[in-house]
């Protein structure tokens, strides 16, 4: 597993290049209470041939200079390769307003990253989404960009954790999206997934698996609306399936709950799929969890005959 005795490690994203996985992750010093990590986070980097044995690299990205839009802390993102370059979409927050925004950095080698431009690349449109002028920093959500290419439409899709303004107050958690032909210029669209059952949906990941798109999102138990079809609220990762990347999506039950992991994300293991997750700690109610705030070894993800998902040991 990836564990650092001096730093808490949590949300992550992975990409494979040749025979090596590159893992990017949020990190902050372990000193102090766990919740302060959100204001101290930068993006670390490690590589592995097997997702088990990790070699740390220099950090991928640090907060911006004072006065920039990402000068407080950096949050969750994703990486994709295109035309011999790598593109990292990430969440940044500014110290003055603590607003969440989406930025882009580029790299030729997955090690050295350069910010693209001096501003966020995409803002929420008030026709569909709540904006930072309408919600306090503590409730505003515009984060966790996940990028994927759809070979059917020949477009890139950027999924974003957001708030759908058409949903009831307190249960606006949704996944918005934008489309692009080149990864630099984006057209924002209405929400992709907006069930109206959650305060927030976060850390989205979407994969094409056999004959459908599978969309994974993570939730906390305290975010559920009483009308949610999931029954007993759990902290974990939910999955939705659709034949089209733009939906409509149907629920894939049961939720994915693995040994007190959070933000479970699928990762390709050759021709199979596996999952990684980070071990929750004191902020999530598990102060005695072994190796808290570290990324665990992978497990296998399988589909059953009735299209449910199961996580099993490798």
- 248-274 per-position pLDDT tens digit: 999 998 999 898 999 999 999 988 999
Is the pLDDT reported for residue 276 higher than 90?
yes
Is the pLDDT reported for residue 314 higher than 90?
no
Neighbours of 244 (CB within 10 A): 12
Tell me the two tokens of residue 136.
């306090």
- The tens digit of pLDDT for each residue in 41-53 reads 999 999 999 999 9
Instruction: Name residues whose C-beta falls within 8 Å of residue 270's C-beta, 6 or more positions apart in sequence.
Output: none
Closest to 172 in 3D by CA, of 139, 199, 134:
199
- The tens digit of pLDDT for each residue in 181-237 reads 999 999 999 999 999 999 999 999 999 999 999 999 999 999 999 999 998 999 999
- What is the predicted pLDDT for the residue at 199? 98
State the greatest distance between any 2 C-alpha atoms of the chain, in Å, as a whole number: 54
- What is the predicted pLDDT for the residue at 47? 98
- What is the predicted pLDDT for the residue at 169? 96
Mean pLDDT (whole number) for 284-299:
94
42 vs 283: CA distance, rounded Å? 19
CB 26 within 8 A of CB 41: yes
Q: Which one has a higher pLDDT value, 23 or 270?
A: 23
Is the pLDDT reported for residue 109 higher than 90?
yes
239 vs 226: CA distance, rounded Å? 19
Predicted model pTM: 0.97
Instruction: Name residues whose C-beta falls within 8 Å of residue 23's C-beta, 6 or more positions apart in sequence.
Output: 2, 12, 13, 14, 45, 46, 47, 48, 51, 54, 295
Q: How confident is the model at residue 306 (pLDDT cuts 50, 70, 90)?
A: confident
Percent of the chain surpassing pLDDT 90: 94
CB 58 within 8 A of CB 43: no
What is the chain's mean pLDDT, rounded?
A: 96
- What is the predicted pLDDT for the residue at 271? 87
Cα angle 298, 299, 301 (rounded to 5 degrees) comes to: 130
Handedness of CA 307, 208, 224, 222 (dihedral sign): positive
Least confidently predicted of 75-89, 137-151, 168-182, 253-267: 253-267
- Phi, psi (5° rounding) for residue 283? -65, -30
Say if strands 236-242 and 250-256 run parallel, antiparallel, or are unpaired.
antiparallel
CA distances from 279 to 50, 157, 194, 233, 292 (A): 19, 29, 27, 19, 5
- What is the predicted pLDDT for the residue at 288? 87
């Amino acid at each position: 597993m990836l564990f650092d005795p001096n730093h808490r490690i949590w949300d992550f994203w992975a990409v494979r290049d040749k025979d090596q996985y590159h893992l990017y992750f949020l990190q902050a010093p372990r000193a102090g209470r766990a919740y302060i990590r959100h204001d101290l986070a930068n993006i670390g980097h490690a590589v592995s041939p097997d997702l088990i044995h990790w070699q740390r690299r220099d950090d991928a990205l640090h907060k911006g200079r004072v006065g920039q839009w990402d000068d407080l802390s950096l949050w969750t993102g994703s990486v994709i390769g295109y035309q011999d370059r790598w593109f990292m979409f990430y969440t940044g927050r500014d110290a003055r307003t603590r607003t969440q925004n989406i930025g882009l950095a580029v790299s030729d080698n997955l090690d050295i990253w350069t910010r693209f431009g001096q501003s966020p690349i995409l803002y929420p449109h008030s026709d569909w989404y709540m904006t930072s002028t309408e919600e306090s920093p503590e409730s505003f959500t515009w984060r966790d960009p996940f990028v994927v290419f759809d070979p059917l439409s020949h477009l890139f899709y950027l999924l974003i954790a957001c708030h759908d303004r058409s949903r009831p107050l307190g249960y606006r958690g949704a996944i918005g999206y934008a489309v692009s032909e080149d990864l630099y210029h984006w057209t924002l669209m209405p929400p992709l997934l907006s069930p109206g059952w959650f305060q927030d949906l976060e850390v989205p990941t979407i994969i094409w698996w056999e004959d459908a798109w599978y969309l994974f999102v993570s939730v906390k138990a305290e975010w559920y609306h009483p009308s949610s079809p999931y029954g007993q609220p759990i902290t974990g990762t939910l999955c939705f399936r659709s034949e089209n990347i733009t939906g409509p999506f149907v629920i894939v039950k049961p939720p994915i709950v693995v040994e007190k992991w959070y933000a479970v994300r699928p990762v390709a293991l050759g021709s199979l799929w596996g999952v990684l997750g980070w071990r929750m700690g004191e902020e999530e109610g598990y102060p005695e969890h072994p190796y808290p705030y570290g990324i665990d070894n992978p497990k296998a993800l399988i589909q059953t005959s009735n299209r449910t998902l199961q996580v099993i040991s490798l």
